[in-house]
């Protein structure tokens, strides 16, 4: 593969800046966040760069961010939940909650693509009609008209300590986020009332607000779960799903990264038929589904080892194709975050379902008790080395591949 094509794959991954452990706009983190934006600008990164924040973005920060719009497909996701504080009666769990709407306001004022990232919903703490209407009303008044919603994966400390009974917990799932029907009805009511476009998948929301025609993540085969039929991108995304065919170049990249694989091509995809209210009965993963006949790259294996969801996520985000392995299962396992390829496993990179994480941790955070990653990995990282610009990783990989193939 030509070097220019190899690097193009890495310039086209969706990147998140500084959002894995601590907030990108804490005072100590702000300049590091802008350093990363400058790094992505200099490397001519071509695809989405998202920043997820709880801290306030001031008007001055918004002005600085606006300058990067000329070079990057930048989008700001502002976390909102209105959860109460367990320790202080009638006080919000979200400190400086109203500053989050100021952040949305400044993004709107300076025409920076922004999304209200409303999650998690936890009954009865933030699922009343009054609370949900307040969220939609406040978002609408900020000038932002797009929202991504989600539930919460269960069995976290925030729930086990006092928020929910063990009996209720038994009904929940580690793996998926299912929104109860009564809460969904309220969301539908207020999104129409306040003219808010709602997405249930991050990749769909950020693709829409950055003016791309289809989601880079492969949700189109499960329209009843991703709500494709209600989506404003339906005509260019879901309706064109059969056109997304892997190429020989895609397969060459997969082979270079030390995976055995082949391409599957079908005249028509199979569509998922999983009942949205019985999602826990399916052990596959929507974006790496191994159950359906679909245009795809199928991994035969990683040479001499196992395949994790990290491996399929990495390849899927690089190629924008469905990549799967028929033996993979979406289980609650911390090792899902590690690559298994001989070429990749030594690299300082971390993948989540929808994006490549580009971050540096500083020991200040909100101490969110439902942060799975923090509990698993905090003692095992060299913070000065971790989370790289994709183009830097491409350079490291190119050298490694050349050495391995000599």
Spatial separation of the C-alpha atoms in residues 63 and 109, rounded to whole Å: 10
Distance of alpha carbon 116 from alpha carbon 75, whole angstroms: 11
Q: Please indicate whether residue 68 or residue 281 has the higher confidence score (pLDDT).
A: 68
Q: Are 343 and 404 in contact (CB under 8 A)?
A: yes
What digits encode the pLDDT tens for the residues 157-215? 444 444 556 565 555 555 566 777 888 899 999 999 999 999 989 999 999 999 888 99
Same domain, 100 and 27: yes
d(CA 171, CA 376): 24
Give pLDDT, residue 360: 66
What is the per-residue pLDDT for 122? 73
How many CB atoms lie under 10 A from the CB of residue 148? 22
H or E stretch including 184?
helix 181-193
pTM here is: 0.87
The residues near 128 (Cβ < 8 Å, ≥ 6 apart) are none
- Report the C-alpha gap between 110 and 315 in whole angstroms: 35
Higher-pLDDT residue of 233, 373: 233
Q: Please state, in angstroms and rounded to a whole number, the distance separating the CA atoms of residues 106 and 36.
A: 21
The predicted-structure confidence for 169-180, as pLDDT tens digits, reads as follows 555 555 566 777
Whether residue 304 has pLDDT greater than 50: yes
Neighbouring residues of 88: CB distance < 8 A, sequence distance ≥ 6 = none
User: Of all residues in the chain, what percent carry a pLDDT higher than 70?
Assistant: 78
> What would the pLDDT profile of 358-368 be if each residue is shown by its tens digit?
876 555 455 55
Q: Are residues 188 and 271 both part of a single domain? A: no
**Does 93 or 45 have the greater pLDDT score?**
45
3-state helix, strand, coil in the chain (%, to 5): 40, 15, 50
Question: Does 328 lie in the same domain as 188?
Answer: no
Percent of the chain with pLDDT over 90: 46
My answer on whether 187 and 258 are in the same domain is: no
Do 200 and 60 sit in the same domain of this protein? yes
Range of the domain at 23: 3-217+354-395
The answer to the question of residue 222 being in a domain is no
Query: Which CATH number goes with the domain that contains 386?
Result: 3.80.30.10
Q: What is the pLDDT of residue 68?
A: 97
Same domain flag for 286 and 312: yes
Average pLDDT over residues 135-158: 80
| Mean pLDDT of the chain, nearest integer | 82
Whether the predicted pLDDT of 268 surpasses 70? yes
Q: Could you tell me if 212 and 297 lie in one domain?
A: no
Residue 387 has pLDDT above 80, yes or no: no
Buried b or exposed e, range 30-55, using 16+ CB within 10 angstroms: bebbbebbebbeebebebbbbbbbbb
**188 and 114 together in one domain:** yes
């Amino acid at each position: 593969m030509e070097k220019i094509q190899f690097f193009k794959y890495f310039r086209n991954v969706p990147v998140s800046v500084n959002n894995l452990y601590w907030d990108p706009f804490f005072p100590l983190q702000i300049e590091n966040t802008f350093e990363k934006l400058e790094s992505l600008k200099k490397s001519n990164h071509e695809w989405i760069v998202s920043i997820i924040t709880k801290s306030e973005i001031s008007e001055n920060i918004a002005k600085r961010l606006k300058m990067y719009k000329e070079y990057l497909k930048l989008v700001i996701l502002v976390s909102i939940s209105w959860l109460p504080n367990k320790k202080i009666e009638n006080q919000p769990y979200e400190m400086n909650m109203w500053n989050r709407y100021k952040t949305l306001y400044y993004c709107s004022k300076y025409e920076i693509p922004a999304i209200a990232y409303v999650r998690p919903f936890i009954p009865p703490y933030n699922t009343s009609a009054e609370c949900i209407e307040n969220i939609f009303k406040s978002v609408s008044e900020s000038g932002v008209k797009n929202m991504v919603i989600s539930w919460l994966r269960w069995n976290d400390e925030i729930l086990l300590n006092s928020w929910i009974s063990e009996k209720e917990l038994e009904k929940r799932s580690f793996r998926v986020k299912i929104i109860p029907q009564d809460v969904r009805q309220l969301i539908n009511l207020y999104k129409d009332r306040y003219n808010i476009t709602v997405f249930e998948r991050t990749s769909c929301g950020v693709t829409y607000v950055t003016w791309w025609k289809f989601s880079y993540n492969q949700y189109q085969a499960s329209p009843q779960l991703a709500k494709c039929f209600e989506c404003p991108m339906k005509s260019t995304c879901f309706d064109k799903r059969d056109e997304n065919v892997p190429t020989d170049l895609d397969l060459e990249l997969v082979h270079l990264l030390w995976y055995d694989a082949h391409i599957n091509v079908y005249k028509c995809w199979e569509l998922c038929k999983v009942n949205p209210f019985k999602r826990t009965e399916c052990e596959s993963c929507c974006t790496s589904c191994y159950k359906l006949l679909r245009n795809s790259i199928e991994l035969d294996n990683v040479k001499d080892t196992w395949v994790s969801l990290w491996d399929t996520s990495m390849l899927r985000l690089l190629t924008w194709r469905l990549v799967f392995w028929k033996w993979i299962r979406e289980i609650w396992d911390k090792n899902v975050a590690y690559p298994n390829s001989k070429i990749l496993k030594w690299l300082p990179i971390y993948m989540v379902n929808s994006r490549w994480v580009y971050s540096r941790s500083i020991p200040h955070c909100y101490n969110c008790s439902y942060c799975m990653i923090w509990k698993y990995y905090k003692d095992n990282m060299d913070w000065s080395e971790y989370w790289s610009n994709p183009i830097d990783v491409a350079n490291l990989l190119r050298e490694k591949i050349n050495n391995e193939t000599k």
